[in-house]
Amino acid sequence: MFFKPERFSVFVERTLHEMNNIGVGSLPIVAIISIFVGAVTTVQTAYQLISPFIPVKIIGTIVSDSSLLELAPTITCLVLAGKVGANIASEVGNMRVTEQIDALEVMGINSSGYLGLPKIIAGLIMIPCLIIFANFLLISGGILAAQLTGIMPPNEFIQGARDTFTFFTLSVSMTKAFVFALIITSVSTYEGYYADGGALEVGEAGTRAVTRSCIFILFFDFIIAKLMLNA
């Protein structure tokens, strides 16, 4: 798959096209999920921490740290495994069963590289951007929910979030984003590329891509947490 592109301009054009599909195409779903997950996390954290002995700003600390460390990268990437992963697997799988991949090979084009590499590079660029966007919206959703439900004013939430924020927490979030991006794009391309048969098999390849991507994401989530946050 990792090869010198036949024509660099075509490779760049394809990568930009995939960046648009993966990144811009996923913005609405990532935005909706992030705002609601942030809001729900705030409400549920507040429900568990109502006590005169605990300062209310701690809710902001918990929500922001949870968002950066777990919710934004993992929840967003599980959703992207469904949206982007299924899309990639079905697109590539359809090209396989309709002989479009054979057509590329007959022309002398490295089909796995031509199809797979732009998707992987686009995923590695756009999915971390989506995670940064999700982090921002999760915390914004939390602030909004805290204010609308009267749990706490925004400035206390922000103060709580600032108290424990470190760039290391952000680096854990970004590490997960890069690893999960690689998993989603490569697993899905692989499943589509090796689909064999007809429409039914393309559907099965899509399902396998989503299932396996999710399992790998959760597995590597644990590995990264263990390696980077081992106390």
Partner 1 sequence: MLELQNINKSFGDKQVLFDINAKFEPGIPNLIIGASGGGKSVLLKCMVGLMKPEKGNILYDGRDFVHLEYEQVKEIRREIGMLFQGTALFDSLTVAENVQFPLKMFSKMNASEIKDRVDFCLKRVQLEGAENKYPAEISGGMKKRVGIARAIAMDIKYLFCDEPNSGLDPITSRVIDDLLLDITAEYGITTMIISHDMKTAFDIGDKILFLYEGKIRWQGSKNEIHSAGKEIKELGAFIASSQI
Residues that bind partner 1 (CB under 8 A): 6-7, 10, 94-95, 98-100, 102-103, 105-109
- We find the least distance from the C-beta atom of residue 7 to partner 1, in angstroms, to be 5
- We find the least distance from the C-beta atom of residue 96 to partner 1, in angstroms, to be 11
Per the CB < 8 A criterion, the answer to whether 130 and 23 are in contact is yes
- We find the least distance from the C-beta atom of residue 17 to partner 1, in angstroms, to be 9
Task: Please count the other Cβ atoms lying within 10 Å of the Cβ belonging to residue 210.
Answer: 22
Alpha helix positions (H), 82-198: 86-97, 100-106, 111-148, 154-164, 167-193
Specify the amino acid at residue 93. G
- We find the least distance from the C-beta atom of residue 112 to partner 1, in angstroms, to be 13
Nearer to partner 1, 115 or 126 (CB): 115
- The angle at the Cα of 40, spanning 34 to 46, to the nearest 5 degrees, equals 135
Nearer to partner 1, 57 or 96 (CB): 96
CB contact burial 32-69 (16+ within 10 A = b; e otherwise)? ebbbebbbebbbebbeeeeeeeebbbbbbbbbbbbbbb
Nearer to partner 1, 13 or 155 (CB): 13
- DSSP element (H, E) containing 99: none
- We find the least distance from the C-beta atom of residue 107 to partner 1, in angstroms, to be 5
- We find the least distance from the C-beta atom of residue 109 to partner 1, in angstroms, to be 6
Nearer to partner 1, 7 or 162 (CB): 7
Alpha-carbon gap, residue 30 to 77, rounded angstroms: 9
Nearer to partner 1, 21 or 147 (CB): 21
Nearer to partner 1, 100 or 159 (CB): 100
